[in-house]
A and B are shown apart, each in its own frame.
Chain A
Amino acid sequence: MKSISLLAVLAILLLTVGILPARGQANFYEGKTVTLIIGAKGAGSLIAATQIVGHHLGKYIPGKPVVIVQEMPGAAHMLATNQVFNVAKPDGLTILASNPNVAVAQLAKVEQVRFDVRKFQWLGSTGADGVALSIRADLPYKNFDEIRKAKEELIVGTTGPGSNAHDFPLLLKEFTGAKLKLVSGYPSNGDIQLAIQRKEVDAWAALATTIKLAVDQGIVRAVVRGRVAAPGFESLPVDEDLASSSLGKALMGIRAVPLAIGRAFAAPPATSADRVAILREAFAKMIKDPEFLAEGKKAKIDFNYISAEQVLKDFGTLLNQTPETLKEMGKYIKLEG
């Protein structure tokens, strides 16, 4: 009898020990607010995706906290990244909706970078996005080869150095022999699309999701893409295959990694392991939620789960470049504008 009661006590103790942390975390998050910080404001697929995450993440965290989105624009997401890395309390209540392009700034040893992407507690990514170059639908060129052989340069509208709109065609021009002339400074992708419609520019590169919308409206035709194959663009030639030199391929590869990481989320580096585990689990469950996927579909965003390990591995690959590549990189890849 004694041994039975002892066993019972032990069992209760074990159960309590097992359950308590989870209950403790449930209590922790109950009534709390989780803030998703994003380094941009206005419109855009990253902002829309973050809003959708904010709408659903809370229900998968024990204690069902309220999740809000806070915009902290500045310095191409670096302000927000610095903030979450250095200032935000590592209590599991602040999450960065990151733009993985900041890793390129880290690679380039930009003075203002006060973070190390490898030290963030990554929760995973809601999916990669590709990049594509498109040309005006009424132009006679049928494929990328014809653009190479074109008599006159095609005018590419861009937002400025460091952006997909600028760097993707710049590397194509430098390393594939495409006849392109870059006119930079357009305030946004919307403005470039408008310039395409009034025939001020001939070509435009952007995230595949954005280009796809314009293709569907009959405004442009996509002609070449980056490494990540977005739905509908799988059959397009890939920039890295067209590059004539190993440096070109390496630089295109660097640009491809942040796109492959996609819309990744992270907690501050010192966040405790149990809270990170809870957030990771919630994140993974959320991405399978049919309602979440339906909202993504409505906003024309494809959600795909990419694990935290994969995100970290990709950042590792990105930051592991030869000194020669790094030296040359500064000439072609600058900070995001």
Chain B
Amino acid sequence: MFDALIEGLLLVLQWKAFSLMMLGMGLGFVVGLLPGIGGAATLALMLPFIFKMSPAEGFAFLLGMHSVAATTGDITSILFGVPGEAISAATVVDGYPMAKKGEAGRALGAALMSSLIGALIGALVLALAVPVVRPLVLSFGSPELFMLAMVGIACITSLSGLGVRGQIRGFAMGLFGLLLSTIGQERQSGTLRFDMGLMYLWDGLDLVPVLVGIFAIPEIIDLAVRGTAIAGDRQPENLQAGVIEGIKDTFRHFWLVVRCSAVGVFIGILPGAGGGVAQWVAYAHAVQSAKDTKDRARFGKGDIRGVLGPGAANNSKEGGELIPTVAFGVPGGGAMAILLGGFLIMGLTPGPDMLTKHLPITFSMVWTLVIANIITVLLCLAVLNHLAKVTYVRGGLIIPFVLFLVFVGSYTANGQIADLIVTFIFGLLGYLMVLFGWPRPPFVLGFVLGKVVETYLFISVNRYGFSWLSHPVVLVLIFLMGLVIAYPFVQERRSQKRDLADAL
């Protein structure tokens, strides 16, 4: 195995593979920065170029591009409040308020450093998981995947506001998300639901226009109404100091970053959970790490931990997602599905062979993730100062540019005008949610997990009756779900007791 590890490294370091990786990274950098234009859409466009490449070269090119897009997507999320990628939407929640407070440099420094640590952990796990990956993935059947999605949904308690009112609003939004996830053709019987006679809705709503609409449009409206720069009328901060502070923050909360990376890897490993979920669960975990309710109330208003958690998770999950893709041919997310297309073109069959005969190629993927992320973060740190200056440019100059990119990004999801309409409708919905104080993250979590929950619940019941409820892993996950739901309430009660004791 050690030989394969070295061989994998040498494959990536060959001049051709390395140059292609750099080329891919350059493309990924731009694509990640452009709001909404996903790494997956770009990967699909790049597939025709890999015909003449060897597998190691092809994957260096594609993965180099993809892993960079995940990192630079955070930059757009922080600077404009517009998700650069569907997988970096959670970074908006605390990253953008930081930019508004004039702390863009700090948020960017933290996002980049946590992304790097996340990517390294993801790659390390991918490398270490090779011998145990098959039994691990095989131990998660449909009932276990259903329960895991339920644990994800339970995170709504942490993503909602404090108090009874906050929780009710959070759950209402989560349920609304679940409801919208049922739009389209139902998988079991093929029945169409809420399709309004439109073929566009047969496959359900696409995540990209929904996310871009719900997060980007309200922020753009807000910026237009304020009539100032993103960072208000503040004098520019000392950006370099801010970036260094952000890097230091990553190490101040090092264990949080490690835990969120682990969350990302684990969710990535399990096929079906989807890349959109990891960032939110990691964000919820960051919220749970708050010491008390006062500490928790800082989230959503520009807490650095809210940037670190999702930043780490959305890069670590790349390593995780590669595991089912490589070992079983089951893509962990949209981008991995395209990568699977790359496997076919390059004549590789995902499966046990990738862990034995083609192990060096699998390891070359690990090395690509590591090298591409290190280079990106170093390059980004060098240009961050200039990027963060954007937050001091007058809103009137920024808005047309961002608005244009938002709609272009949405359009690339399916190449249909309806994508733009969905963006607009969800933009309006997002604006109303912000205006009346209804939280957006629970909605997104419900929307992303809705289909997963429905699919695996149906399969579990159809296949096992109700005996699946006694599966050991299911029982553990039920217990975990209970903990996740109860934790914010326990935290609140503890905080009240402490306040009472202090008052006495």
Contact = CB atoms under 8 A, between A and B. Distances in A.
Interface of A: 41-45, 47-48, 51-52, 54-55, 68-76, 78-79, 82, 111-112, 155, 159-162, 183-188, 190-191, 193-195, 197-198, 200-201, 213, 216-217, 295, 298-300, 334-335, 337
Contacts of A82: 199
B272 to A, nearest CB: 6
Interface of B: 44, 47-48, 51, 137-142, 185, 187-190, 197, 199-200, 202-203, 271-272, 324, 328-331, 334, 337-338, 340-341, 343-347, 349, 351-353, 414-416, 455, 458-459, 462-463
A313 to B, nearest CB: 29
A42 B334 contact: yes
Contacts of B139: 198
Contact of B188 (A70, A71, A160, A335): A160
B190 A298 contact: no
A125 to B, nearest CB: 19
A79 B138 CA distance: 36
Given A42-B341, A299-B347, A74 B48 contact: no
A159 B341 contact: no
Given A70-B415, A74-B199, A195 B347 contact: no
Contact of B48 (A42, A55, A190, A217): A55
A48 B463 contact: no
A277 to B, nearest CB: 26
A51 B47 contact: yes
A234 to B, nearest CB: 22
Given A74-B199, A295-B51, A217 B349 contact: yes
Given A112-B199, A186-B459, A298 B347 contact: yes
B199 A198 contact: no
Contact of A217 (B341, B351, B458): B351
Given A75-B199, A191-B271, A69 B48 contact: yes
Contact of A71 (B137, B272, B353, B415): B415
Given A188-B330, A191-B330, A198-B138, 6 more contacts: A43-B341, A112-B197, A160-B185, A185-B188, A193-B328, A201-B463
B458 A197 contact: no
Contacts of B458: 185
Given A190-B331, A198-B138, A51 B352 contact: no
A98 to B, nearest CB: 16
A70 B346 CA distance: 20
B455 A185 contact: yes
Contacts of B416: 72, 74, 79
A43 B337 contact: yes
Nearest to B418: A74
Closest 4 CB pairs of A and B: A42-B337, A298-B347, A43-B340, A161-B190
A298 B334 CA distance: 24
B329 A193 contact: yes
B48 A68 contact: yes
Nearest to B464: A200
B200 A79 contact: yes
Contacts of A191: 271-272, 330
A185 B48 CA distance: 32
Given A71-B44, A185-B455, A190-B329, A41 B345 contact: no
Nearest to B44: A71
Contact of A51 (B141, B188, B330, B345): B345
A42 B189 contact: no
Nearest to A294: B347
A40 B458 CA distance: 25
Nearest to B185: A337
A155 B343 CA distance: 30
Contact of A183 (B185, B334, B459): B459
A52 B345 contact: yes
Nearest to A216: B349
Contact of B138 (A54, A197, A295, A334): A197
A217 B414 CA distance: 34
A295 B346 CA distance: 8
Nearest to B340: A43
Given A71-B44, A74-B203, A187-B272, A162 B190 contact: yes
A337 B47 contact: no
A194 B328 contact: yes
Contact of B345 (A48, A155, A190, A334): A48
Contact of A72 (B48, B190, B334, B414): B414
B83 to A, nearest CB: 20
Given A68-B48, A79-B200, A186-B459, A200 B141 contact: yes
A48 B341 CA distance: 6
A107 to B, nearest CB: 16
B90 to A, nearest CB: 23
A41 B339 CA distance: 11
Given A82-B199, A183-B462, A300-B349, A335 B341 contact: no
Nearest to A210: B329
15 contacts: A51-B345, A73-B414, A74-B199, A75-B199, A160-B188, A162-B190, A184-B189, A187-B455, A190-B329, A191-B272, A198-B138, A198-B140, A200-B142, A200-B463, A298-B346
A39 to B, nearest CB: 11
A186 B460 CA distance: 11
A322 B203 CA distance: 32
Contacts of B202: 74-76, 78-79
A108 to B, nearest CB: 12
A195 B345 contact: no
Contacts of A42: 331, 334, 337-338, 340-341
A194 B137 CA distance: 9
A156 B140 CA distance: 19
Contacts of A162: 190
A45 B341 CA distance: 8
A43 B344 contact: yes
Nearest to A72: B415
Contacts of B330: 188, 190-191, 193-194
Given A69-B48, A195-B141, A299-B347, A185 B187 contact: yes
A183 B340 contact: no
Contacts of B455: 185-187
A162 B186 CA distance: 12
A213 B200 CA distance: 33
A254 B142 CA distance: 33
Contacts of B328: 190, 193-194, 197
Given A161-B190, A197-B328, A78 B203 contact: no
Contacts of A198: 138-141
Contacts of B137: 194
Nearest to A49: B344
B199 A79 contact: yes
Nearest to B142: A200
Contacts of B140: 198
Contacts of B346: 298
Given A190-B330, A195-B142, A217 B352 contact: yes
A300 B282 CA distance: 40
